[in-house]
Amino acid sequence: MAEQIQIEYILDALEKSETRITRLTEVYSKTISDNKELESSLGKFRKENELLKDRINYLEKELDKLRNTQFSGSLFDKLSFGERKVIREKLDEFIEKINKHIESI
């Protein structure tokens, strides 16, 4: 009788262990899947970040060209207050987007 109780106890312990192992396997699989998704997203963000860096470099070169031309000062002077404000807002949005991408890496 005592032997039967021990066997039942061992079987119960094995059943509980099997349940835990099954759950851990599910969690592990989900973690692996999430990790793959995150790696994919990271790759996309890195590519986008490189494109944004290239765009910044291009725009900085264009800005330098404008600064070096003889009428660059007058070019910005000809813009209305509203146009300047729009340009400032667009630049602020662009800078904010770049900062978010940099922070996410």
pLDDT in tens, 26-54: 999 999 999 999 999 999 999 999 999 99
pTM of the model: 0.48
Is residue 72 packed enough to be buried (19+ CB in 10 Å), middle (13-18) or exposed (0-12)? middle
Per-residue pLDDT, averaged over 83-97, amounts to 89
